Amino acid sequence: MLKKNFSPKWPALCLAISLATAAQAQQASDEQPTADKPASVTVPASPAKAEKADKAATLTANAALLARTDKLLAKAVEHVKANGADSVRDFTRLAKFIDKELYVYALDINGTFLASGGDSEALSGSNVLSYTDANGKQFFRELVKKAAESDNGEVKYHWFNPGGGLTPKVAHYNRVGDVIIAVGYHAPRSTEKDARVLLARAMEAWKADAEGAKKSFHEFGDFLRGDLYVFVINKQDGTVIVNGLAPELEGKDGRKIADEGGNHFIQQMIDRADKQAGIQKIVYRWPNPLSESVERKHSYFAAEGDVIIGVGNYLREF
């Protein structure tokens, strides 16, 4: 299991919370009748069918980018496994290791940069452990440390984006022997749809195997990626059972957790879950792991037995 060392300025629990007051309205239009086809009445989809449709639409633009990242990384990993550590030089020379804006880079476990298909090729041969991003973060050192703990995972940092200056970037990595292979992407913000789809999958996983789900929610991969993660709260006493991003909150009484405005949003989730079934939305301010700043967060949550399961997305602020 990937060990996370999340400490990007986790502020003194955030700013003002505002509750969402309106659910999205769904609109349906009836087909127009024709001479050979009588008018028909459109029957609204049942909640179960609507939920199935949401689950089926998992390949959003964000998911497609993640899929491209992981496909390129897997190709690079197999290449090194088959051809040895010296074959990392092919990441610089061969077009198959570049996919549009995505490229592969590699360093060894001592922090020596080995190769890159991007501008960072200029670092080859240098020890980059002390190299920092625009915020002073030694992200290569973090990458080496994490690779010593787990053969795969991710690191976050700020890097030049040709499309718009310095933006958050996420690198997925795999370790093959003494070589760390990585592919990074400029992190898109997750959408409401991304959050709702992940919530549906998290609830299914919890219903099928709660203990297995707890482990999965903590591991880099399907339930923990970019700015999306799952949280689980005990509905009876408010205990934080799972926080995929900040496990240090687990075991604490969530009813006492407040944002910087003093709003006890977990208590509000518990109160609302007792009064209303189904998925609900709550809005509050919370640290975004990508931007490392406090932002407005929309969390979608629902009761499942004696727990509340939630996933949220962040909104850009100007």
DSSP string, 199-267: HHHHHHHHHH-HHHHHHHHHSSBTTBBTTB-EEEEETTT-BEEEESS-GGGTTSBGGG---TT---HHH
So what's the pLDDT on residue 16?
29
Residue 32 has pLDDT above 70, yes or no: no
Q: Which of 120, 153, 186 is the last residue of a domain?
A: 186
The domain spanning residue 280 has which CATH number? Answer: 3.30.450.20
Q: Which domain holds residue 86?
A: 61-186
Q: Where is average pLDDT lowest: 61-65, 179-183, 268-272?
A: 61-65
Task: Tell whether 56 is covered by a domain.
Answer: no
Residue 60 has pLDDT above 80, yes or no: no
So what's the pLDDT on residue 318?
55
Residue 10 has pLDDT above 70, yes or no: no
The span from the CA of 291 to the CA of 283, in Å, is 18
Task: Tell whether 23 is covered by a domain.
Answer: no
pLDDT category of residue 310 using cuts at 50, 70 and 90: very high
> 213 with 291, same domain?
yes
Expressed in angstroms, the distance from the first to the final Cα of the chain is: 37
Q: Which residue has the higher pLDDT, 9 or 247?
A: 247
For all residues of the chain together, what is the average pLDDT? 83
Mean predicted confidence (pLDDT) in 156-173: 82
Query: Which helix (H) or strand (E) segment is 146 a member of?
Result: helix 139-149
> 259 with 273, same domain?
yes
Q: Which two structure tokens, joined as six digits, stand for 181?
A: 């292979």
Task: Give the number of domains in the chain.
Answer: 2
> 168 with 214, same domain?
no
Q: Which of 149, 164, 186 is the last residue of a domain?
A: 186
- Note the pTM of the prediction, 2 decimals: 0.62
> 197 with 301, same domain?
yes
Q: Which of 165, 186, 207 is the last residue of a domain?
A: 186
Encode pLDDT of 179-229 as tens digits: 999 999 987 788 999 999 999 999 999 999 999 999 999 987 789 888 899
Task: Tell whether 40 is covered by a domain.
Answer: no
Task: Tell whether 85 is covered by a domain.
Answer: yes
The most confident of 101-115, 145-159, 258-272, by mean pLDDT: 101-115
> 165 with 223, same domain?
no
Residue 56 has pLDDT above 60, yes or no: no
